[in-house]
Amino acid sequence: MNSWAKDIARILIPHEELQRRVAELAAQISADYAERNPLLVCVLKGGFIFLADLTRALTVPHCVDFMAISSYGNATRSTGVVRILKDLDCDIVGRHVLIVEDIIDTGRTIAYLLENLRVRQPASLRVCTLLSKPARREIELHIDYVGFEIPNEFVIGYGLDYAENYRNLPFIGVLKPEVYQRGLQQASGAKASQG
Protein backbone atom coordinates (compact mmCIF):
# COMPACT_ATOMS: atom_id res chain seq x y z
CA MET A 1 0.00 0.00 0.00
CA ASN A 2 1.24 3.52 -0.74
CA SER A 3 2.07 5.51 2.38
CA TRP A 4 -0.66 8.08 1.69
CA ALA A 5 -3.40 5.54 0.95
CA LYS A 6 -4.56 5.31 4.56
CA ASP A 7 -5.23 9.08 4.64
CA ILE A 8 -7.33 9.31 1.45
CA ALA A 9 -11.08 8.71 1.60
CA ARG A 10 -11.40 8.56 -2.19
CA ILE A 11 -9.97 9.80 -5.47
CA LEU A 12 -12.15 12.65 -6.72
CA ILE A 13 -10.33 13.43 -9.99
CA PRO A 14 -7.94 10.85 -11.43
CA HIS A 15 -4.72 11.84 -13.14
CA GLU A 16 -5.97 11.14 -16.70
CA GLU A 17 -8.99 13.39 -16.17
CA LEU A 18 -6.76 16.19 -14.87
CA GLN A 19 -4.52 15.89 -17.93
CA ARG A 20 -7.48 15.90 -20.31
CA ARG A 21 -9.04 18.99 -18.70
CA VAL A 22 -5.74 20.88 -18.54
CA ALA A 23 -5.33 20.27 -22.28
CA GLU A 24 -8.82 21.69 -22.90
CA LEU A 25 -8.14 24.76 -20.78
CA ALA A 26 -4.81 25.28 -22.55
CA ALA A 27 -6.51 25.12 -25.96
CA GLN A 28 -9.10 27.67 -24.87
CA ILE A 29 -6.51 30.01 -23.31
CA SER A 30 -4.26 29.69 -26.39
CA ALA A 31 -7.17 30.75 -28.61
CA ASP A 32 -8.19 33.63 -26.34
CA TYR A 33 -4.66 34.99 -25.94
CA ALA A 34 -3.37 34.71 -29.51
CA GLU A 35 -0.99 37.63 -30.21
CA ARG A 36 -1.24 38.88 -26.62
CA ASN A 37 1.87 37.37 -25.02
CA PRO A 38 0.13 36.86 -21.68
CA LEU A 39 1.84 36.71 -18.31
CA LEU A 40 0.77 33.73 -16.24
CA VAL A 41 0.97 34.52 -12.55
CA CYS A 42 1.20 31.35 -10.51
CA VAL A 43 0.09 31.57 -6.91
CA LEU A 44 2.49 29.53 -4.80
CA LYS A 45 2.62 27.07 -3.50
CA GLY A 46 -0.60 25.31 -4.49
CA GLY A 47 -0.53 26.33 -8.16
CA PHE A 48 2.88 24.95 -9.07
CA ILE A 49 1.88 21.63 -10.61
CA PHE A 50 -1.12 23.03 -12.48
CA LEU A 51 1.07 25.86 -13.84
CA ALA A 52 3.77 23.39 -14.91
CA ASP A 53 1.28 21.33 -16.92
CA LEU A 54 -0.65 24.34 -18.26
CA THR A 55 2.44 26.24 -19.47
CA ARG A 56 3.65 23.20 -21.43
CA ALA A 57 0.26 22.71 -23.07
CA LEU A 58 -0.15 26.33 -24.23
CA THR A 59 0.60 26.91 -27.88
CA VAL A 60 0.97 30.71 -27.65
CA PRO A 61 4.10 32.55 -26.51
CA HIS A 62 3.76 33.61 -22.90
CA CYS A 63 5.75 34.39 -19.76
CA VAL A 64 5.40 33.07 -16.23
CA ASP A 65 5.96 34.72 -12.90
CA PHE A 66 5.25 33.70 -9.32
CA MET A 67 3.72 35.19 -6.21
CA ALA A 68 3.86 33.55 -2.83
CA ILE A 69 1.21 34.50 -0.35
CA SER A 70 0.36 33.44 3.12
CA SER A 71 -3.24 33.48 4.24
CA TYR A 72 -4.10 33.70 7.85
CA GLY A 73 -6.44 31.03 9.12
CA ASN A 74 -6.20 27.45 10.22
CA ALA A 75 -5.05 24.62 7.99
CA THR A 76 -8.42 24.08 6.28
CA ARG A 77 -10.01 27.57 6.28
CA SER A 78 -8.73 30.91 5.04
CA THR A 79 -9.79 34.23 6.48
CA GLY A 80 -8.79 36.34 3.49
CA VAL A 81 -6.15 38.14 5.55
CA VAL A 82 -3.33 37.76 3.07
CA ARG A 83 0.34 38.65 3.27
CA ILE A 84 2.63 38.72 0.22
CA LEU A 85 5.73 36.62 0.92
CA LYS A 86 7.14 36.94 -2.60
CA ASP A 87 5.99 39.54 -5.06
CA LEU A 88 6.19 39.40 -8.85
CA ASP A 89 9.59 39.94 -10.44
CA CYS A 90 8.13 41.83 -13.38
CA ASP A 91 6.16 44.96 -13.94
CA ILE A 92 2.64 44.24 -15.23
CA VAL A 93 1.64 47.66 -16.57
CA GLY A 94 0.00 47.07 -19.93
CA ARG A 95 0.42 43.27 -19.73
CA HIS A 96 -2.31 40.68 -20.20
CA VAL A 97 -2.21 38.93 -16.85
CA LEU A 98 -3.74 35.54 -16.12
CA ILE A 99 -3.68 34.41 -12.49
CA VAL A 100 -3.23 30.64 -12.13
CA GLU A 101 -4.70 29.29 -8.89
CA ASP A 102 -5.11 25.82 -7.45
CA ILE A 103 -8.51 26.31 -5.84
CA ILE A 104 -11.05 29.02 -5.12
CA ASP A 105 -12.90 28.29 -1.94
CA THR A 106 -14.42 31.27 -0.07
CA GLY A 107 -12.98 33.57 -2.75
CA ARG A 108 -11.24 35.79 -0.22
CA THR A 109 -7.69 35.10 -1.36
CA ILE A 110 -8.38 35.67 -5.06
CA ALA A 111 -10.43 38.80 -4.29
CA TYR A 112 -7.42 40.20 -2.45
CA LEU A 113 -5.05 39.28 -5.31
CA LEU A 114 -7.32 40.78 -7.97
CA GLU A 115 -7.49 44.04 -6.07
CA ASN A 116 -3.73 44.03 -5.47
CA LEU A 117 -2.87 43.40 -9.15
CA ARG A 118 -5.56 45.62 -10.66
CA VAL A 119 -4.02 48.80 -9.23
CA ARG A 120 -0.78 47.97 -11.10
CA GLN A 121 -2.67 48.68 -14.33
CA PRO A 122 -2.43 45.51 -16.40
CA ALA A 123 -4.05 45.63 -19.86
CA SER A 124 -6.31 42.79 -18.72
CA LEU A 125 -6.62 40.61 -15.65
CA ARG A 126 -8.25 37.19 -15.62
CA VAL A 127 -8.35 34.15 -13.38
CA CYS A 128 -7.78 30.49 -14.20
CA THR A 129 -8.36 28.05 -11.38
CA LEU A 130 -8.06 24.30 -11.49
CA LEU A 131 -10.75 23.81 -8.85
CA SER A 132 -13.68 25.78 -7.48
CA LYS A 133 -15.96 25.07 -4.54
CA PRO A 134 -19.01 27.22 -5.37
CA ALA A 135 -20.93 26.11 -2.25
CA ARG A 136 -18.32 27.80 -0.05
CA ARG A 137 -18.19 31.16 -1.80
CA GLU A 138 -18.43 34.19 0.48
CA ILE A 139 -17.46 36.78 -2.13
CA GLU A 140 -19.18 36.97 -5.48
CA LEU A 141 -16.63 36.56 -8.26
CA HIS A 142 -16.38 36.07 -11.97
CA ILE A 143 -13.86 33.32 -12.72
CA ASP A 144 -12.80 33.17 -16.35
CA TYR A 145 -11.48 29.60 -16.53
CA VAL A 146 -12.47 26.79 -14.15
CA GLY A 147 -11.10 23.27 -14.45
CA PHE A 148 -13.58 21.51 -12.19
CA GLU A 149 -16.34 22.52 -9.81
CA ILE A 150 -16.10 20.27 -6.79
CA PRO A 151 -18.26 19.63 -3.70
CA ASN A 152 -17.52 21.07 -0.30
CA GLU A 153 -14.83 18.65 0.80
CA PHE A 154 -11.20 19.19 1.70
CA VAL A 155 -9.01 17.95 -1.15
CA ILE A 156 -5.30 17.36 -1.62
CA GLY A 157 -2.88 16.37 -4.38
CA TYR A 158 -1.72 17.89 -7.70
CA GLY A 159 -0.19 20.82 -5.79
CA LEU A 160 -2.75 21.11 -3.01
CA ASP A 161 -1.67 20.34 0.49
CA TYR A 162 -2.78 19.64 3.97
CA ALA A 163 -0.13 20.97 6.40
CA GLU A 164 2.41 20.94 3.49
CA ASN A 165 1.85 17.26 2.73
CA TYR A 166 0.38 15.40 -0.26
CA ARG A 167 1.23 18.08 -2.90
CA ASN A 168 2.99 15.45 -5.02
CA LEU A 169 0.03 13.09 -5.44
CA PRO A 170 -0.87 12.83 -9.15
CA PHE A 171 -4.64 12.98 -8.54
CA ILE A 172 -7.09 15.14 -6.56
CA GLY A 173 -8.19 13.17 -3.53
CA VAL A 174 -10.50 13.74 -0.59
CA LEU A 175 -8.66 13.65 2.68
CA LYS A 176 -10.23 11.63 5.48
CA PRO A 177 -11.69 14.17 7.92
CA GLU A 178 -10.01 12.42 10.83
CA VAL A 179 -6.61 13.36 9.37
CA TYR A 180 -7.21 17.08 9.68
CA GLN A 181 -9.28 16.80 12.82
CA ARG A 182 -6.28 15.11 14.41
CA GLY A 183 -4.03 17.88 13.07
CA LEU A 184 -6.30 20.65 14.28
CA GLN A 185 -6.31 19.22 17.79
CA GLN A 186 -2.52 19.16 17.75
CA ALA A 187 -2.18 22.72 16.46
CA SER A 188 -5.27 24.44 17.77
CA GLY A 189 -5.59 28.14 17.04
CA ALA A 190 -4.93 30.13 13.92
CA LYS A 191 -1.66 30.18 12.06
CA ALA A 192 -0.45 31.41 8.72
CA SER A 193 -0.36 28.89 5.90
CA GLN A 194 0.96 29.09 2.37
CA GLY A 195 -1.64 28.20 -0.24
One character per residue 42-81, x = contact with Mg ion (rule: CB under 5 A): ----x-----------------------------------
Smallest gap from Cβ 53 to ligand IMP, in A, equals 17
Task: Give 94 or 182: the residue with its C-beta nearer to ligand IMP.
Answer: 182
Residue from 44, 49, 98, 103 binding ligand IMP (CB under 6 A): 103
* Residue 109 C-beta: closest distance to ligand IMP, Å: 3
CB 9 within 8 A of CB 151: no
Stretch that binds ligand IMP, among 16-24, 87-95, 101-109, 115-123 (CB under 6 A): 101-109
Q: Total residues at the site for ligand IMP (CB under 6 A)?
A: 18
**87 in active site:** no
Catalytic residue among 65, 91, 105, 144: 105
Scanning residues 6 to 45, which ones bind ligand IMP (CB under 6 A)? none
Q: Are 68 and 85 in contact (CB under 8 A)?
A: yes
> Do residues 107 and 195 lie in contact, with contact meaning Cβ atoms separated by under 8 Å?
no
Paired strand residues for 145? 128
8 binds, among Mg ion, ligand IMP, none (CB under 5 to 8 A by kind): none
> Can residue 67 be called a binding residue for ligand IMP (CB under 6 A)?
no
Closest alpha carbon to 37 in 53, 64, 60: 60
Kindly tell me the burial class for residue 70, based on how many C-beta atoms sit within 10 Å of its own C-beta (0-12, 13-18, 19 or more): middle
List CB contacts of 171: < 8 A, sequence separation 6 or more: 11, 12, 13, 14, 15, 18, 157, 158
Q: How big is the CA angle at 182 (ends 181 and 188), to the nearest 5 degrees?
A: 80
First to last CA, the chain: 28
Q: Which residues of this protein are in contact with ligand IMP, per CB under 6 A?
A: 46, 78, 80, 101-110, 154-156, 160, 195
Active site residues: 105
Residues that bind Mg ion (CB under 5 A): 46, 102, 195
